[in-house]
Amino acid sequence: MIDRRLLTNIDWILAGLVLTVCLLGIMNIYSATTPYKIVGIAYYIKQLYWMLAGITISLVVCSLDYHILEDLSYWFYGFLILLLLAVLIVGKRSMGATRWLNLGLFNIQPSELMKIVIIVTFARFFNNFHTIGGLTVRDLLIPLSLLALPAVLIMKQPDLGTATLIILIAISMAMYVGLRWSAIVTFICITIPMAWVGWAYLLRPYQKNRILDFLNPERSRLGSGYHIIQSKIAVGSGGFTGKGFVKGTQSQLRFLPEQHTDFAFSVFAEEWGFIGCLVLIFLYLSLVLWGLNIARRCNDRFGGLLAVGVTAMLFWHVVINMGMVIGMFPVVGVPLPFFSYGGTSMITSMVAIGLLQNISMRRFMF
């Protein structure tokens, strides 16, 4: 099934970058969860299992020619929309939001899968849609509807983070295809009143609070502004060289919320300081630039679109998560890929890497 020539084309730079981040993540989870009362298997061991499962899945993904995705894309899209509807109707409630769908054996979070599917769907659409000089407003009507449907469904759950992500991914892909200035200006003019409507009618009170807290953390020192303040203290007190492994006081005394998942980076920043952060940011930057490079080298439009979409997904995760931890963005539940604890994020990110690897390996086939 798999062409022998392909094996020699494995993108070792991509694999190496991902593996390094994963291992740093596991080391960091070990530190972040030391103060926890552990029942059963320790978190860092579980994360190791997730990593191995993720690698296996990414190998499966890259062994199949990505072109089959082109034919299946709209089916995936339709199926995911059904799942998202199912979540709203019969989903499992947890922490005030309905995001999970119980499949008997395990729970899945369709909004997470939607990130990949929106990439595939957009890649298919733009692959058959040709333009010179950039997309006009009219060209964007269909992709905009394709985007709006899942975005609204996910917003309803409510999962602001994921909804924002799929919108950002879609915008990134449109930018790769090319946008006319007229389209950009029109959308900015439409977005501002829309944002006002969203603020007034769509956002839940807790989401508004998070945004207000971000703008002014002192607003509720012990409420949701607490997260931002404590996280900034953790990062800032790390200083140039950090407090040392398992020596971060903010994390070891458990001041940080969700310090092994969404706020894992603040534990890292506290314990490894500016130097550590530079290393991690450099790794992510390399990963993103390498992903774009794969898109550039790819000689078929569908592959290029796919690579750009997947890279954009990783990029926005990194930027939103890190921005949240260092107080540049409001607190939304977006994990740091390969670094935060959690199976769903690991699997989705690994599928993304599998796709990139897939495209990279087959670049000589055309």
Closer residue to another protein in complex, CB, 322/351: 322
Q: Taking the complex as a whole, how short is the minimal distance between the CB of residue 35 and another protein, in angstroms?
A: 6
Q: If you compute the radius of gyration of the chain from its CA atoms, what whole number of angstroms results?
A: 21
Q: Out of 171, 202, 319, 365, name the contact with another protein by CB under 8 A.
A: 319
Find the binder of another protein among 5, 92, 208, 247 (CB under 8 A): 92
Closer residue to another protein in complex, CB, 4/37: 37
Interface residue with another protein, options 48, 232, 246, 258 (CB under 8 A): 232
Contact between 175 and another protein by CB under 8 A: the answer reads yes
Given a contact cutoff of 8 angstroms between Cβ atoms, the answer to whether 101 and 107 are in contact is yes
Output 51 or 298, the one with its CB closest to another protein. 298
138 touches another protein by CB under 8 A: no
Give the ranges where the chain is alpha helix by DSSP (H): 4-8, 12-32, 43-63, 68-90, 110-127, 141-156, 160-177, 181-197, 205-215, 225-238, 249-252, 264-297, 301-325, 343-361
Q: What residues contact residue 276 under an 8 Å CB cut-off, 6+ apart? A: 238, 242, 268, 269
> What is the smallest separation between the CB atom of 352 and another protein, expressed in angstroms?
16
Which whole-number Å values give the CA distances from 125 to 141, 302, 340, in the listed order?
12, 9, 32
In whole angstroms, give the CA distance from residue 351 to residue 60. 9
With CB under 8 A as the contact rule, the residue among 151, 256, 267, 288 that binds another protein is: 288
Residue 179 Cα to chain centre, angstroms = 24
Six-digit token pair at 277? 């952060």
Pick from 293, 268, 271: nearest CA to 280: 268
* Residue 5 sits in the site that holds another protein (CB under 8 A): no
- Does 75 bind another protein (CB under 8 A)? Our answer is no
The CB-of-324 to another protein minimum distance in angstroms stands at 11
Residues making contact with another protein (CB under 8 A) = 34-37, 92-96, 130-132, 172, 175-178, 222, 232-240, 249-250, 253-255, 269, 273-274, 277-278, 281, 284-285, 288-289, 292-293, 295-296, 299, 301, 304, 308, 315, 319, 322-323, 326-328
